[in-house]
Structure 1
Amino acid sequence: MSDYKAILEEEFEVLESIFPEELEKLSDTSVQIRIEPDEPSSSHPLSLNLIVSYPPTYPDTIPEFSLEEREDDDEDEEGEGSGELKEGEEETILEQLRAVAEESLGMAMTFTIASAAKEALGVLISERIRKEKEEDDRRAAAYEEAEAKRTRGTPLTPEAFNKWRKGFMAELKAKREKEEEERVRTMLPKEREEWKRRRDRLSGRQLFETSQTLAASDEGLYEDGAEEVDMRQYTREEREAERRLEEEEEEKRRRGLVFAADGE
């Protein structure tokens, strides 16, 4: 046991000289070392804590070690955070560290393990960058293919044309209805009432198509002595002109009666 403690004390002194800022002694049998890649990446910052716990049979038995994300996620002086491991990455690194520790049995191995951890983080970041580049290349190729397909165009078929025409007519109808609503909104109340009255009035064609009386009287139009009807008089313009004429005649008759009454 005394040899075990002596071995650890001697190794801790060496580690403190190598990692003056990175090392933190957690207990008499465990330490924590901040691990970062030798060449940090500004786009992929990554800094972890390597926890090493020494068994009584150390160094003939490999220590227990784990990786933890740094508790302080504050950015460093260069504005970079500590980052974090993704799924499966931690176990991959730990397997590599165990293999290195097995090769160092019988001698102080903490520095070797810490160095292997730093190297593993560097490889991990390089792998992340490689995968991201492959994904960017894949997306770029997909985009170029989509653009090429779009510029080549789609063969015009009756089905495609009908589908386009249906959508175009619906869009045009909605646009006209919106414009009509905007126009009505600017009308005076009296103008708006007149617009509604004219809108709700059936045209001659609508009256003809919907009225059972008119539909049933078609044959009567051709009976002997029946006067031929000019359907043009049922247009909106003709009805409006006829209505205005009747109103003017009615006004003249009314005025004539008033003048006649005054002369008596």
Structure 2
Amino acid sequence: MDYLEEQKQEIEILQSIYPDELEIVSETSFRVSLLLDTNTERKHTLILNVRYPETYPEVVPQLRLEKTSDDVPEESLNVEESVELDKDDLLDLEESLNSNALENVGMPSVFTLTSLLKDEAETLFQEKVAAKEKMVEQERQAREYEEQKKFAGTKLTKENFAQWRAKFRAEMGIDTRLAERFKLVHQGRLTGKEIFEKGLAEEAEDL
């Protein structure tokens, strides 16, 4: 087998498939940038660095992964925008690539490996999004539970009811409106009929 010729042919094929994504580093090494489909504003790219050993494809290629991600958008409320692949994820992906490379020894395999990498990375990303969403929801439920505990079992007394009533009336502006209407009543600006129609007589008695 003419190893060098096999390697050159594979690079030519890869260049036709990845015209913008493939960067030649040397005669025996190159890198392929893979933009992941993540349905996010942030762009996440995996970079597969490949180096051919002298006797490739009779042996596995040397593979190394890098990644780049855009910054998190300011004031973004979407959970998926905070998710990205970390070092452990890259190690897991590399392990999977090397395992599949072993299965393909004897034939050019880089295109197969890049396709596999993209699929597995996108699946892993979505799994991390789902896990993050679940965690956020659990945290929200925990906060709600803690808030409910503050009121659970609280004995209703005249004092705490009065406090609640005063706070509620202040928030709704009830006392202010009643005071204004009371003033109109006692200054004689409204007739008895008008007082009745506006329901002020009863409200005035509440002051």
Query: What is the distance in 2 between the residues matched to 1:52 and 1:41?
Result: 28
Distance 1:74 1:34, change over 3 A: farther
Write the letter of the residue equivalent to 1:60: E
**Secondary structure class of the residue paired with 1:25:** strand
Contact kept? 1:59, 1:105, Cα under 8 Å: yes
Distance 1:27 1:91, change over 3 A: same
Write the letter of the residue equivalent to 1:17: S
Q: State the match for 2:27 in structure 1.
A: 28
Q: State the match for 2:191 in structure 1.
A: none
Q: State the match for 2:46 in structure 1.
A: 48
Contact kept? 1:69, 1:84, Cα under 8 Å: no
**Secondary structure class of the residue paired with 1:59:** coil
Q: State the match for 1:96 in structure 2.
A: 96
Q: State the match for 1:110 in structure 2.
A: 110
**Secondary structure class of the residue paired with 1:60:** coil
Q: State the match for 1:19 in structure 2.
A: 18
Following superposition, the deviation at residue 153 of structure 1 comes to 4.6
Query: What is the distance in 2 between the residues matched to 1:44 and 1:74?
Result: 7
Write the letter of the residue equivalent to 2:40: S
Write the letter of the residue equivalent to 2:39: S
Is 2:62 the partner of 1:64? Answer: yes
Following superposition, the deviation at residue 68 of structure 1 comes to 1.6
Write the letter of the residue equivalent to 1:140: R
Tell me which of the two structures has the higher relative contact order, counting C-alpha pairs closer than 8 angstroms and 6 or more residues apart. Answer: 2
Query: What is the distance in 1 between the residues matched to 2:14 and 2:71?
Result: 26
Query: What is the distance in 1 between the residues matched to 2:93 and 2:149?
Result: 44
Query: What is the distance in 1 between the residues matched to 2:39 and 2:49?
Result: 23
Higher strand share goes to which structure? Answer: 2
Q: Per-residue CA shift, 1:211-256, capped at 9, x if unaligned? A: xxxxxxxxxxxxxxxxxxxxxxxxxxxxxxxxxxxxxxxxxxxxxx
TM-score by length of 2: 0.64
Percent of counterpart pairs with the same letter? 33
Please report the RMSD computed on the Cα atoms of aligned residues, expressed in angstroms: 2.6
Contact kept? 1:46, 1:121, Cα under 8 Å: no
**Secondary structure class of the residue paired with 1:88:** helix
Paired residues in the alignment total 147
Distance 1:151 1:124, change over 3 A: same
Q: Per-residue CA shift, 1:81-109, capped at 9, x if unaligned? A: 9x963141111100111111111111110
Query: What is the distance in 2 between the residues matched to 1:96 and 1:141?
Result: 37
Matches within 5 A, 1:1-264: 3-37=2-36, 39-42=37-40, 45-70=43-68, 85-154=85-154
Q: Per-residue CA shift, 1:35-87, capped at 9, x if unaligned? A: 122x33215632021100110111111011111234x9699xxxxx9x96314
Query: What is the distance in 2 between the residues matched to 1:87 and 1:59?
Result: 28
Write the letter of the residue equivalent to 2:14: L
Contact kept? 1:23, 1:34, Cα under 8 Å: yes
Structure 1 gap segments, 5+ residues each: 76-80, 157-264
**Secondary structure class of the residue paired with 1:41:** coil
